[in-house]
Structure 1
């Protein structure tokens, strides 16, 4: 059985109200968990985060959440690994999407 991992997620100030004011959230995930599993766990524990997902709809402006990894994690993912290890810190960001522009010449 895979050993559990302790992963820390750093929360930016604009998202802290969704996380009960926390600056960082520590999660215990299965050793076989990947980055997607961490994100699903966050959505399960903090469902209001879902309102900030980009989704598949066309961009209409507003903000959306982005989960960033360090270069070591990205390299591991590229090689087919999970991108996670105990003590790994992931960072949430709230990014802005520009409003749709009107067609040129309109």
Structure 2
């Protein structure tokens, strides 16, 4: 049987109320788990997180969650891996999105 991975999720201050005030959450996940599995576990343990996920519906403004990964995790994901290994830290932070019709300051 494959050994479980210990993954730490670091919670940004604006999101801590969704996670009972916690700064970090340590999760034990199966060895073959990926980043998506970690997000699923977080959503099942902390259902208030759903309200901050960006979805396919029309954006109405407000804030939404971003997941930050270490460079090595991103490289592993790009090569078809899980993006996880024991000791890795995932960062959850929140950004705001303008209401529809309000131009952003980003230029492309």
Task: Give me the TM-score of the superposition, normalised by structure 2.
Answer: 0.91
**Per-residue Cα deviation, 1:34-64 (whole angstroms, up to 9, x for no partner):** 0000000000111111111111101111111
* Distance in 2 separating the partners of 1:46 and 1:52: 12
Residue equivalent to 2:88: 88
Cα RMSD of the aligned pairs, angstroms, is: 0.9
Superposed CA offset, 1:37-95 (max 9, x none): 00000001111111111111011111111111011000000111100000100000111
4+ long deviations beyond 2 Å: none
Instruction: Give aligned pairs, total.
Output: 102
Q: In structure 1, how many angstroms separate the alpha carbons of the residues matched to 2:2 and 2:40?
A: 19
Distance, in Å, in 2 between the alignment partners of 1:58 and 1:69 is: 27
- Equivalent position SS for 1:8: strand
Question: Distance between the aligned counterparts of 2:43 and 2:92, measured in 1?
Answer: 12
Q: Distance in 2 between matches of 1:62 and 1:20?
A: 21
Q: Which runs of 5+ in 1 are unaligned?
A: none
